[in-house]
Structure 1
Amino acid sequence: MVLDKLTNAARYTSMHPLFEKAFRYLQETDLMNVPTGVHEIEGKDLFAIISEAKGNPKQKAKLEVHRKYIDIQYVISGTDHMGWKDLAQCSQPNDPYTEERDAAFFPDKTSNWFDVPAGSYTIFYPDDAHAAMATEEVLRKVVLKIAVR
């Protein structure tokens, strides 16, 4: 798991062949004016999901993991409150993994909470159980989905 500011993106471009293109998208796109929804950048290997919504109270946050995609979650406006837990420390999922949604959800709670303000992002790998949108604030954010290679 990584938490950093977009100004430091160059530190991470060597971590995956598509990270440079992903960070370039974040840096060069007028994200405040892109419509919400899914936007292909490089087919199914790299795409963006733009959302603008009110989050949920921390008590309702669900830990999730993905197998096929790495998430780069960038906050455009507002402050996201996120949780993290090592997948190896999670119990069995209460909502098992499905290929269609590329997600499993866990009943576990995390004590690892942190704020992600506008201009910052997280990188979650398949072994990073994470809970996002644990805020009652309205957030605008983009989740870049990068195919695991």
Structure 2
Amino acid sequence: MILDHLDNADRYMKVHPGFAAAFEFLRSQDFSQYKEGRHEVDGERLYLMMNRCPGRGRSGAIFEAHRKYIDIQLTVSGVEEMGWRRTASCEQVKSPYNAEADYALYTDEPTFWMSTPPGYFAIFFPDDAHAPLAAECDLVKAVMKVAVDWA
């Protein structure tokens, strides 16, 4: 898991071959022009999920974990709160892994909570179970889905 401000994204460009394209996209867009939902960037390798929704609060947060995609979750407005826990330590399965949808859901307690104000992002790898939308405010988030297998 990586937590940082978009101004520092250059530090992470070499972590994964798709990160340069993902961060270039995040830096160049006016997200007020995007409707909620999926937007293609580079086919199945890289796409945007635009979220505009109220937070569920910590008590309503549910862990998700992915295998095929890395999430780069950028807060556009609101102050997001997210829980984190190692995927390998999640034991309370709410929904087993669904390969087509690329997620498993868990109801475990987080190891810690983090806040991401506008301009901050969190990168979640397959080892990182994350409980997004735990804020108690309206949120706008740009979530880049970066294929683990970039080839």
1:7-62 superposed Cα distances (whole Å, 9 cap, x missing partner): 00000000111100100001111112222221111001000011111010211111
1:101-148 superposed Cα distances (whole Å, 9 cap, x missing partner): 110011211140010000000000001010010012000111100000
Between 1:26-35 and 1:85-94, the stretch displaced more is: 85-94
SS in structure 2 of the partner of residue 94 of structure 1: strand
Give the corresponding residue for 2:125.
125
- Distance of 1:92 and 1:68 partners within structure 2: 21
Q: TM-score, normalised by structure 1?
A: 0.96
1:89 to partner: Cα distance: 1.6
SS in structure 2 of the partner of residue 108 of structure 1: coil
Give the corresponding residue for 1:72.
72
**Preserved CA contact (<8 Å) 1:77 1:118:** yes
Q: Percent identity?
A: 43
Structure 1 residue ranges without an equivalent (≥5): none
Give the corresponding residue for 1:33.
33
Give the corresponding residue for 1:110.
110
SS in structure 2 of the partner of residue 32 of structure 1: helix
Q: TM-score, normalised by structure 2?
A: 0.95
**Preserved CA contact (<8 Å) 1:82 1:114:** yes
Partner amino acid for 1:42?
D
Matches within 5 A, 1:1-149: 1-149=1-149
**Preserved CA contact (<8 Å) 1:32 1:76:** no
SS in structure 2 of the partner of residue 49 of structure 1: strand
- Distance of 2:88 and 2:35 partners within structure 1: 37
Between 1:83-92 and 1:53-62, the stretch displaced more is: 83-92
Structure 2 residue ranges without an equivalent (≥5): none
1:100 to partner: Cα distance: 1.8
**Preserved CA contact (<8 Å) 1:65 1:105:** yes
Q: Which runs of 4+ in 1 moved over 3 A?
A: none
SS in structure 2 of the partner of residue 129 of structure 1: strand
Partner amino acid for 1:28?
S
